[in-house]
Amino acid sequence: MKKLFCLMLIAAMLLGLLAGCGSNTSNDAGGGSEDGVITIEYWNSAEGAMATSTEYLVKLFNDTVGKEKGIVVNSVFQGGDVMEKLKTLAQANDYGNFPDVGQIYSAGIPTLVTMDPLYTMSEVYDSGKFEITVKQEDIIENFLRTYQYEGELIGMPLNASSMLMYYNKDAAREAGLDPDAPPATIAELAEWTDKLTVRNDDGSIARYGLNIQMDRYELVNFLSGVSDTGCNYIGDNGGGRDGMMTKLTIGEDGSLMTFLNEWEKVIATGGYKAVNDDERGEFANGLSAINFQSSSQLATMFENTEGKFELGVAPLPACSDQYNAGAAVGGGSLCMFDLGSEERLQAAWEFVQFMVSADSQMYLFENNGYLPVCAAAYETDAYAAFIEERPEAAVAVEQLYNSDVGMQEPLDLINWELNTLSKENFISWTNGEISKQECHDNIVDNFNAKLTEYIRANG
């Protein structure tokens, strides 16, 4: 037994030693320049198919532009949200381990701007130190707006998507609806929901006309056009982009109530399911006829419905005739960090430009359904060929061009609260547990109270 114990001890020491060696080599690989080759780190949240695409593009960069200019990009997956990790590092005051480039969602922007090493895109464009091949004007304005904070462009849009309406064309035909004229307003959506709902003999529902859980993402998309000025910022200070958001404006300007008044018609049909059990799976199996998902799920939606029914894709319905249609942009951006080396900043910028070039963006469009962020991509032959093959992909592009630049997800600081409040109150309202007014007040008042609490600690 003692022998065994000693053996284990020795093994532990050996492994420890091994670990020590391993650590040394990995520290070298961390970044820096050697023999004129600069290694930079790219932290990403790319999961699933996006992970494969990211690896492909990084390798392509290293083999082409990188080889030419002596840059090696080391891509590191950092969990579902790079921001979580950056926050921990910042809290521990460990800026030394920051990456050169990070993939950041728009919700992370208000936190990001408080971090010292951040090197904004505006700084890149204004400094005159960088060789610019991708100009700010080359990027579509809607996407730029997403990552602007107090007038400054924080990150470069990388992967963009918007919400679409997916519907069952076969079901529409059976119900006597024109499958090629999908609902353009909420009122029409209610009509479709009603007609598409199928009930069993005992009155239970065999197929819901519509299945959508009103999370924050869905709510802000539906609300984004409900405004007389063309777009609804949801919160004050331009939805948190001109400064810290301090309250929701959708209560005081009546836009939430306007939307609820329309949505009431959907609930009244009785064929609306407000809970997400597996929206996409149930839709693909004919348990619901209309469903809303991001444009980045286009390929998956086709894969799931293949051989089952004809899938229709349409833009988001407007709240009513008098308001604009359109959708808010979602997705991620590339943000740069200054780690004290001019060379590395230059290298990082080269990589950022590569990622938003027409070719890279077309690659993401074809493989992951992300809308190209640079205007040039839409002029390419590859784009024309892809749209020819999958015309539905053009719906998201059209919707984008029809959307007001101001239609954005707000930088609402405590977005998780809005998500919970919206989801729960819509479910309760649909179930008849609370009234429309209560649903409205619960969302607005509770969120504002939480936001006030947040601002007290962070303002």
Q: Which residue has the tokens 């359904």?
A: 369
Which C-beta is closer to another protein: that of 106 or that of 232? Answer: 106
Closer residue to another protein in complex, CB, 13/268 = 13
Q: Which string of x and - marks every residue 29-58 that binds another protein (by CB under 8 A)?
A: xx----------x-x---xxxxxx------
Of the candidate residues 177, 427, 443, 444, the single one contacting another protein (CB under 8 A) = 427
Instruction: Rank residues 29 and 268 by Cβ distance to another protein and give the closer one.
Output: 29
CB of 82 to another protein, least distance (A): 11
Alpha-carbon distance of 64 to 48, in angstroms, equals: 25
Give the shortest CB-394-to-another protein separation in angstroms.
19
SS3 of the chain: CHHHHHHHHHHHHHHHHHHHHHHHHHHHHCCEEECCEEEEEEEECCCHHHHHHHHHHHHHHHHCHHHHHCEEEEEEECCCCHHHHHHHHHHCCCHHHCCCEEEEEHHHHHHHCCCCCEECHHHHHHHCCCCCCCCHHHECHHHHHHCEECCEECCEEEEEEEEEEEEEHHHHHHCCCCCCCCCCEHHHHHHHHHHHCEECCCCCEEEEEEECCCCHHHHHHHHCCCCCCCCCCCEHHHHHCCCCCCCECCCCCCHHHHHHHHHHHHHHCCCEECCCCCHHHHHHCCCEEEEEEEHHHHHHHHHHHCCCCCEEEECCCECCCCCCCCCCEEEEEEEEECCCCHHHHHHHHHHHHHHCCHHHHHHHHHHHCCECCEHHHHHCHHHHHHHHHCCCHHHHHHHHHHCCCCCECCCCCCHHHHHHHHHHHHHHHHCCCCCHHHHHHHHHHHHHHHHHHHHHHHC
Q: Which stretch binds another protein (CB under 8 A): 20-28, 119-127, 319-327, 403-411?
A: 20-28
Report, in Å, the least distance between residue 138 CB and another protein.
26
Among 141, 398, 445, 453, binds another protein (CB under 8 A): 453
Site string for another protein, 432-451 (x = CB under 8 A): ------------------x-
Binding segment (CB under 8 A) for another protein, from list 92-100, 355-363, 380-388, 402-410: 92-100
Alpha carbons 231 and 234: distance in angstroms, whole number: 9
Any contact of residue 64 with another protein (CB under 8 A)?
A: no
Specify the stretch interacting with another protein by CB under 8 A; choose among 233-241, 274-282, 320-328, 337-345.
Answer: 274-282
Task: Please report whether residue 454 would count as binding another protein according to CB under 8 A.
Answer: yes
CB of 226 to another protein, least distance (A): 26
Q: Which of 61, 71, 78, 186 binds another protein (CB under 8 A)?
A: 78
Question: Between residues 56 and 386, which has the closer beta carbon with respect to another protein?
Answer: 56
Q: Which of 266, 261, 321, 323 is nearest to 292 (CA)?
A: 266
Among 123, 138, 170, 424, binds another protein (CB under 8 A): 424
Which residues lie closer than 8 Å to 273 by C-beta, 6 or more apart?
A: 205, 208, 210, 211, 212, 288
The residue among 74 and 341 lying less far from another protein, judged by its C-beta, is 74
Rounded-to-integer distance, Cα 283 and Cα 445, Å = 34
Cα–Cα dist 218/164, whole Å: 10
Binding residue (CB under 8 A) for another protein from 34, 35, 36, 92: 92
Q: Does residue 83 belong to the site contacting another protein (CB under 8 A)?
A: no
* Part in contact with another protein (CB under 8 A); list of ranges 13-21, 226-234, 391-399, 402-410: 13-21
Rule CB under 8 A: which of 368-407 touch another protein? Answer: 368-369
Among 60, 62, 70, 77, indicate the residue that binds another protein (CB under 8 A): 77
User: Any contact of residue 91 with another protein (CB under 8 A)?
Assistant: yes
Number of residues located near another protein, criterion CB under 8 A = 83
Q: CA 168, 169, 170, 172: dihedral to nearest 10 degrees?
A: 90
Between 7 and 181, name the residue whose CB sits nearer to another protein.
7
Which CB, 151 or 307, lies closer to another protein?
307
Question: What would the two tokens of residue 407 be?
Answer: 């239609």
State the binding string over 279-318 for another protein (x if CB under 8 A, else -).
-xxx-xx-x------x-xx-xx--xx-xx-----------
Binding flag, residue 325, another protein (CB under 8 A): no
Tokens at residue 347, please? 């290298």
Q: Which stretch binds another protein (CB under 8 A): 19-27, 100-108, 142-150, 223-231?
A: 19-27
Q: At its nearest, how many Å lie between another protein and the CB of residue 321? A: 33
Q: Which is nearer to another protein, 90 or 319 (CB)?
A: 90
Q: Which of 93, 151, 201, 432 binds another protein (CB under 8 A)?
A: 93
